[in-house]
C-alpha cells in the first residue's frame, strides 16, 4: 500500500510570469538532416511562456492574528521541533542530493532542502541561514531548484550567508545567489570551466575477448557506444557540444547577473586559471576571505550575541522535523498528488534491489491506479528524475499515466534528467515542465547482447546448447555472435520499438511524426532547447508545475493547496547490508547484470547514455563491464 505524506504548499502564483535569462530557440533541419536553430515558429511552433502561470514565490507578511497563532503553536510544539529563538539555520550542502523524500539516509533530499528554505522564511525563531556549500554531486536541474529557493528566501528580508571551502562551478552556481559569500584562505578554487567526456571500452573488450553486439536506433543514441566504439562519433560529439554550450552559457549568464558583471569579464576570469581565493575577493566574486569561526563570530556580532556565548543554531536534519503546520503553513482543502519517479526503470523488483533503488513499473502503476480511483485529488504531478531503462516498463507506465490524464490534470515535472524512458513517461502528461538545464529527449532505443566466445576460449571454458526453435538461442548463446538471420530479427524488433516510441511521442505532443523525427533520433536536449522543439511546454521547477496544475484544475492561483506525496522512499537495513558484499559476489553479479542488461530479448532499453558533465555518473552498462574487467584481471 502506498504511503501518503501530506504537506502544504505556500507558494502564491503571480500573474507576471517567469522569464529566463536566455532567449529560447526553435530548430529546423538542414540539407544534411542536422537539427539547427531558427527563429520562432519552427519545429515546435515557438515558445509562448505567457501561456502558463509562473508559480513564483511571493512572501506574504503575516498579520498580528496570524503571528499570535504561530506563537501559540510553537508553545505546544513537539520536543523535537523546539529550538532557541534567534537561531540561525545551518545547512550543509555536500555530496549526493536525491529528488526523493528519504528517511534513515545520509544523502540530502531536495524536497526537504527546498521545504526548509520556505519554512525558515516564515519561522519567527530563525534569524537567517548559514549555508555551507561543499563538493556537490548532483545534476544542474537540482542546482537550479536550490538556487531558486535561495532567491525566494531572500524575499523574507532575512539574511543568507554562504561559506564555500571547495569552489567548483556547481558549488559557486548556488553560492553566488547568497547575500554574502565567504571562503577560507586555503579554499580549493576550481573555477576552470566545464567539460563533457565519454569513455570507450571497445579496444579494451577486444583485448580481453569480449564483443558487444549492440543494436541502437537513432543516430544520436550513443548508449552502447561505450562498449562498441574506440572513439566518439560525430553525432555524439555534436550532441555533447550543444549541451555543454547550453550549460556553460547559462552559468555565465547567471553568475554575471548575480555579481553585476559583464559576461565577458566572468569568462575572462575563468580562462585565467585562478586558483587563489584572494583573487576571487579582488574580483568581487566573494565577499571576504574568512575561516568558519570568523564567520560565526561575525554572525554573533550581527545578532547582538556576546562573544562569550555560543551562536544558537539549528541543523538541517533537526529542522526537517519541524512540521509546516507548526509554523502556520497550512494548506487548502484542494489536494494535488505528487508521485515521484527516480532512478533507472525496471519492470519488476529485482532480487537484489531495494524499494528505493529505482522505478519499478509494477509498483509505480499501483500508485497511479490508486490516485486515479481517488476523488480527493484535483490534479497530479509526476516528478521525474530518470535516464530511462526497460522499454516495456516505460510503455506500461505511459499507458497508466495516459489513463490518469483522462480523469484529472496531470503535469510532468522534470528534475536533473527525464530522458529516453523517463521522457516516455512524461509525454503522457497534459503539460511538461522542465528546468532550463534538465537533460531530456533521447527518444530512441538500444538493445544487444554480449558475445563472450573468445574470452571463453582463452580461459578454457566451454558452453554447449541444445535448443528447439529457430531463434531459441537468440540471446542465450553468449558463446557466439549472432547469425545473419538472428541479427536481422534483432534489428527489426528494435526498429519496431523505436517506431512506436516516435509515433506515441508525436501524438502526445500534437505534432506530425516527421517533425517528431527531427527532435528524436536518440538525441539528448537541454530543457532550454527542448521547449522550443515542442518536447517540453514550460521552463520552471516544482512550484511552476503546481501553479499549472491549479490552472488546469480550475483552482484559483492565489489559493493554497495541499500537496500529498503518494510515494516516499526509505533506506532499509537490507540496503545497508547490500553495500557490504565481498569481491566474489561482486564479480558474479557484474556478469549477471551485464548479461541481463544487454542480453535479454525481453529488455529492449529506452535509456539515455551516461553523459559526464563535471561529476555526473556514467552508464550502468559501463559500470557493469568495468566491474567485470576488474575482477577478470584480478584472476589473471
- Is residue 393 over pLDDT 80? yes
- Cβ-Cβ contacts under 8 Å for 408 (sequence gap 6 or more): 372, 377, 378, 379, 380, 553
Mean pLDDT confidence for 140-152: 97
Mean pLDDT confidence for 433-452: 93
Q: Which of 126, 190, 117 is nearest to 155 (CA)?
A: 117
| pLDDT band at residue 356 using 50, 70 and 90 as cut-offs | low
- Is residue 628 over pLDDT 80? no
Q: Hey, what's the cell of 464?
A: 554447449
DSSP β-ladder status, 561-565 and 388-390: unpaired
Q: Which of 503, 509, 574, 542 is nearest to 7 (CA)?
A: 542
pLDDT at 445: 87
pLDDT above 90 covers a percentage of the chain that reads 73
- Is residue 13 over pLDDT 80? no
| pLDDT band at residue 331 using 50, 70 and 90 as cut-offs | confident
Q: Is 51 a catalytic residue?
A: no
Task: Give a three-class secondary structure readout of 502-560.
Answer: HHHHHHHCCCCHHHHHHHCCCCEEEHHHHHHHCCCCEECCHHHHHHHHHHHCCCCCCCC
Mean pLDDT confidence for 457-467: 93
Torsion of CA 580, 99, 324, 375, to 10 degrees: -110
- Is residue 599 over pLDDT 50? no
Q: How far is CA 376 from the centre of its chain?
A: 29
Mean pLDDT confidence for 255-268: 96
| Residue 466 or residue 619, greater confidence | 466
Contact by Cβ (8 Å): 550, 535: no
Longest alpha-carbon distance in the chain: 85
| pLDDT band at residue 49 using 50, 70 and 90 as cut-offs | confident
pLDDT at 476: 87
Highest mean pLDDT among 47-51, 118-122, 348-352: 118-122
Mean pLDDT confidence for 389-399: 93
- Cβ-Cβ contacts under 8 Å for 128 (sequence gap 6 or more): 88, 89, 158, 159, 160, 161, 299
- Is residue 593 over pLDDT 80? no
- Is residue 601 over pLDDT 60? no
Q: Where are the domains of the chain?
A: 5-56+329-440+522-573, 82-191+274-322
In angstroms, rounded to a whole number, what is the distance separating the alpha carbons of residues 313 and 456?
61
Q: How far is CA 84 from the centre of its chain?
A: 35
DSSP β-ladder status, 87-98 and 108-109: parallel
| pLDDT band at residue 448 using 50, 70 and 90 as cut-offs | confident
- Is residue 584 over pLDDT 60? no
503-520 residue pLDDT tens: 999 999 999 999 999 999
| Residue 289 or residue 101, greater confidence | 289
- Beta strand residue intervals within 208-298, DSSP E: 211-217, 288-289
pLDDT at 9: 42
List, in sequence order, every residue forming a beta bridge with 288; answer none if it has no partner: 182
215-234 residue pLDDT tens: 889 999 988 898 999 999 99
- Is residue 26 over pLDDT 50? no
Mean pLDDT confidence for 467-483: 92
pLDDT at 634: 47
- Is residue 578 over pLDDT 80? no
The helix or strand, by DSSP H or E, that contains position 305, with its residue range, turns out to be none
In angstroms, rounded to a whole number, what is the distance separating the alpha carbons of residues 210 and 456?
9
Contact by Cβ (8 Å): 513, 426: no
| Catalytic residue from among 119, 221, 504, 550 | 221
pLDDT at 103: 66
Q: Which fold has domain 82-191+274-322?
A: 2-enoyl-CoA Hydratase; Chain A, domain 1 (3.90.226)
**Mean pLDDT score of the chain, rounded to an integer?**
85
Contact by Cβ (8 Å): 361, 346: yes
117-144 residue pLDDT tens: 999 999 999 999 999 999 999 999 999 9
pLDDT at 586: 43
pLDDT at 597: 46
Q: Hey, what's the cell of 500?
A: 512506436
Q: Which of 490, 508, 309 is nearest to 423 (CA)?
A: 508
| pLDDT band at residue 606 using 50, 70 and 90 as cut-offs | low
| Residue 32 or residue 39, greater confidence | 32
- Is residue 16 over pLDDT 80? no
Mean pLDDT confidence for 309-318: 96
Q: What is the DSSP letter of 209?
A: T
pLDDT at 351: 59
486: left (phi over 0), alpha (psi -120 to 50) or beta: alpha
DSSP β-ladder status, 35-38 and 26-29: antiparallel
Q: What is the DSSP letter of 165?
A: S
Angle, nearest 10°, between helix axes 234-259 and 263-271? 120
Whether 5-56+329-440+522-573 and 82-191+274-322 share one fold: the answer is: yes
| Residue 564 or residue 351, greater confidence | 564
Q: Is 221 a catalytic residue?
A: yes
| Residue 6 or residue 62, greater confidence | 62
**Class at the top of the CATH hierarchy for domain 5-56+329-440+522-573:** alpha beta
- Is residue 632 over pLDDT 50? no
Sheet holding 605-607, edge to edge: 211-217, 445-451, 605-607, 388-390, 345-346, 359-360
- Is residue 110 over pLDDT 70? yes
Counting Cα atoms < 13 Å in the Cβ hemisphere of 157 gives 6
| Catalytic residue from among 420, 442, 508, 526 | 420
537-574 residue pLDDT tens: 999 999 999 999 999 999 999 999 999 999 754 444 54
pLDDT at 357: 67
- Is residue 33 over pLDDT 70? no
- Cβ-Cβ contacts under 8 Å for 145 (sequence gap 6 or more): 110, 114, 415, 435, 541, 542
pLDDT at 149: 98
List, in sequence order, every residue forming a beta bridge with 570; answer none if it has no partner: 103
pLDDT at 447: 87
pLDDT at 253: 96
- Is residue 496 over pLDDT 80? yes
Q: Hey, what's the cell of 444?
A: 530512441
CA separation (Å) from 74 to 85, 92, 326?
A: 11, 25, 6
Amino acid at each position: 500500500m502506498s504511503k501518503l505524506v501530506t504537506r502544504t504548499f505556500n507558494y502564491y502564483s503571480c500573474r507576471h510570469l517567469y522569464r529566463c535569462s536566455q532567449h529560447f530557440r526553435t530548430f529546423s533541419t538542414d540539407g544534411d538532416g542536422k537539427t539547427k536553430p531558427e527563429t520562432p515558429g519552427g519545429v515546435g511552433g515557438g515558445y509562448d511562456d505567457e501561456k502558463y502561470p509562473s508559480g513564483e514565490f511571493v512572501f506574504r507578511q503575516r498579520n498580528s492574528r496570524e503571528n499570535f497563532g504561530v506563537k501559540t503553536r510553537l508553545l505546544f510544539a513537539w520536543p523535537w521541533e523546539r529550538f532557541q529563538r534567534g537561531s540561525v539555520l545551518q545547512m550543509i550542502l555536500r555530496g549526493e542530493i536525491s529528488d526523493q523524500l528519504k528517511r534513515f539516509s545520509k544523502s540530502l533530499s531536495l524536497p526537504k532542502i527546498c521545504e526548509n528554505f520556505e519554512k525558515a522564511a516564515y519561522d519567527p525563531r530563525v534569524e537567517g541561514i548559514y549555508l555551507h556549500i561543499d563538493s556537490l554531486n548532483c545534476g544542474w536541474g537540482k542546482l537550479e531548484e536550490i538556487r531558486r529557493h535561495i532567491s525566494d528566501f531572500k524575499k523574507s528580508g532575512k539574511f543568507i550567508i554562504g561559506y564555500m571551502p571547495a569552489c567548483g562551478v556547481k558549488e559557486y552556481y548556488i553560492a553566488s545567489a547568497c547575500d554574502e559569500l565567504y571562503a577560507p584562505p586555503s579554499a580549493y578554487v576550481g573555477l576552470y570551466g566545464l567539460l563533457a567526456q565519454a569513455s570507450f571500452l571497445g579496444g579494451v573488450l577486444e583485448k580481453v575477448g569480449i564483443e558487444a553486439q549492440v543494436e541502437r536506433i537513432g543516430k544520436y543514441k550513443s548508449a552502447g557506444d561505450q562498449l562498441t566504439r574506440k572513439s566518439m562519433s560525430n553525432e555524439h560529439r555534436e550532441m555533447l557540444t550543444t549541451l555543454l554550450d547550453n550549460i556553460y552559457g547559462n552559468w555565465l549568464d547567471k553568475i554575471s547577473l548575480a555579481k553585476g558583471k559583464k559576461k565577458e569579464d566572468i569568462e575572462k576570469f575563468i580562462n585565467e586559471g585562478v586558483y587563489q581565493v584572494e583573487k576571487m575577493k579582488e574580483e568581487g566574486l566573494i565577499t571576504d576571505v574568512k575561516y568558519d569561526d570568523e564567520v560565526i563570530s561575525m554572525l554573533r556580532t550581527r545578532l547582538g550575541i556576546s562573544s562569550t556565548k555560543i551562536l544558537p543554531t539549528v541543523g538541517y536534519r533537526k529542522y526537517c522535523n519541524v512540521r509546516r503546520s507548526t509554523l502556520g503553513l497550512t494548506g487548502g482543502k484542494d489536494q494535488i498528488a505528487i508521485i515521484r519517479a527516480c532512478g533507472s526503470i525496471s519492470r519488476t523488483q529485482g532480487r537484489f534491489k531495494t524499494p528505493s533503488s529505482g522505478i519499478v513499473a509494477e509498483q509505480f502503476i499501483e500508485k497511479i491506479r490508486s490516485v486515479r480511483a481517488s476523488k480527493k485529488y484535483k490534479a497530479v504531478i509526476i516528478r521525474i528524475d530518470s535516464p530511462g531503462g526497460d522499454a516495456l516498463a516505460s510503455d506500461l507506465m505511459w499507458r497508466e499515466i495516459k489513463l490518469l490524464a483522462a480523469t484529472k490534470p496531470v503535469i510532468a515535472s522534470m528534475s536533473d534528467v527525464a530522458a529516453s524512458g523517463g521522457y516516455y513517461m512524461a509525454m503522457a502528461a497534459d503539460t511538461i515542465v522542465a528546468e532550463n538545464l534538465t537533460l531530456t529527449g533521447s527518444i530512441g532505443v538500444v538493445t544487444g547482447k554480449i558475445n563472450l566466445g573468445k574470452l571463453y576460449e582463452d580461459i578454457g571454458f566451454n558452453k554447449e546448447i541444445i535448443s528447439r526453435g529457430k531463434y531459441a538461442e537468440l540471446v542465450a548463446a553468449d558463446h557466439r555472435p549472432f547469425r545473419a538471420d538472428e541479427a536481422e530479427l534483432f534489428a527489426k524488433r528494435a526498429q519496431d520499438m523505436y517506431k512506436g516510441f516516435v509515433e506515441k511521442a508525436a501524438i502526445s505532443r500534437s505534432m506530425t511524426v516527421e517533425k517528431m523525427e527531427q527532435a528524436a533520433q536518440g538525441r539528448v536536449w537541454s530543457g532550454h532547447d527542448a521547449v522550443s522543439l515542442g518536447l517540453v511546454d514550460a521552463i520552471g521547477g516544482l512550484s511552476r508545475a503546481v501553479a499549472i496544475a491549479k490552472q488546469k484544475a480550475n483552482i484559483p492561483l492565489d489559493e493554497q493547496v495541499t500537496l500529498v506525496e503518494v510515494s516516499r522512499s526509505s533506506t532499509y537495513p537490507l540496503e545497508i547490508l547490500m553495500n557490504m558484499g565481498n569481491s566474489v559476489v561482486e564479480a558474479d553479479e557484474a556478469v549477471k547484470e551485464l548479461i541481463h542488461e544487454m542480453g535479454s530479448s525481453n529488455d529492449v532499453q529506452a535509456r539515455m547514455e551516461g553523459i559526464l558533465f563535471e561529476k555526473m555518473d556514467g552508464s550502468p552498462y559501463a559500470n557493469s563491464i568495468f566491474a567485470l574487467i576488474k575482477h577478470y584481471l584480478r584472476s589473471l
